[in-house]
Amino acid sequence: MAADPLAGYRVLGFDLETTGFNHKSHRIVQYALVGCDDDGSSIHLENLVNPQRQIPRETTNIHGIDDDDVKGVPTFKEYAPHICEAMEGAVIVGHNVDRFDWPFLRSEFLRAGHAMPKPLAILDTLKIARKLKIPPSHKLGSLCQQFGISLENAHTAGADAAATLLLLHKIMAAHPQHFRRAVEDIPDWVDGSSQTDKESESLGPNLEDLEPISGSHGWLRISNSGIVIGRGRNRGRTVKEIERLDMNYLNWLSSSAGPLESDAIDALQAERK
């Protein structure tokens, strides 16, 4: 791909195994977060969870986890701070995550009395496959087979999380024209509410066609009007425009807490002089 919208972010495949399908009455028995940090280092968090209730035989038949497996392991409340730390500000990738995994996670955080994490974006590969009209079946195993992904140990959280993340990369490589947008804009595009394409038309050449500034991970691009923001809520605006409209945003971009490397910060600060 000419431009990878995931570059420079913590990106985590996410999957849960549960005692059943209703997030109001059932509980998590296993979770996995598999991927990489923003510096490229690998992340693999996978743990069994004591659901504090019986695991029905019919769900054990699906994921293979029974009451003996979770006896004595920590409850979700004990894992909540670690899950929150990993997910905060990350790109979360899951299959049917919007309708299944995320409601379960929200219910568990509520029970634990812990604030929910706030990811940068949640990408649902099931919804993406439907949006792109990829031929069914859209079950994870079927899509993995279509894209040549080996899915061993299906219905274990770690295997499904890793396969889902790989599936997203395969889909993006096969349909690159649809992912020439900021990662936080992808969910809106999937849901049919994105304004990115209309904005691109009004701006002339696609932002992704503009040369990126080294170390900016696509956040800063060079145009005839000066440096242009390539991602986020000020996408398409020049630095000079944002100086008038959103100074706090520029201060964040210029800080060590922002997404830019030192060379890109220097270029941004030079543009502001």
- List, for residues 106-118, the tens digit of each pLDDT value: 999 999 999 999 9
Rama region for 138: left / alpha / beta (φ>0; ψ in -120 to 50; rest): alpha
The tokens describing 144, both together, are 């993995």
What is the rounded average pLDDT for all residues in the chain? 90
Measured distance between the N- and C-terminal CA atoms of the chain, rounded to whole angstroms:
34
Q: Which DSSP state fits 255? A: S
Q: Report how far apart, in Å, the C-alpha atoms of 82 and of each of 40, 88, 100, 264 are.
A: 19, 10, 21, 31
Distance, in Å, from the CA atom of 17 to the CA atom of 1, rounded to the nearest integer, reads 33
Q: What angle do CA 89, 95, 98 make, to 5 degrees?
A: 65
Highest CATH level, class, for 11-179 = alpha beta
Are 242 and 230 in contact, with CB atoms under 8 Å apart?
no
Specify the pLDDT at position 109. 97
Three-state DSSP state, 92: strand
What is the rounded distance in angstroms from the CA atom of residue 229 to the CA atom of residue 209?
13
Q: What is the pLDDT of residues 72-90, one digit of tens each?
A: 999 999 999 999 999 999 9
Sorted by where each begins, the domain ranges of the chain are 11-179, 195-272
pTM: 0.72
What pLDDT does residue 203 have?
Answer: 39
**Whole-number pLDDT of residue 208:** 65
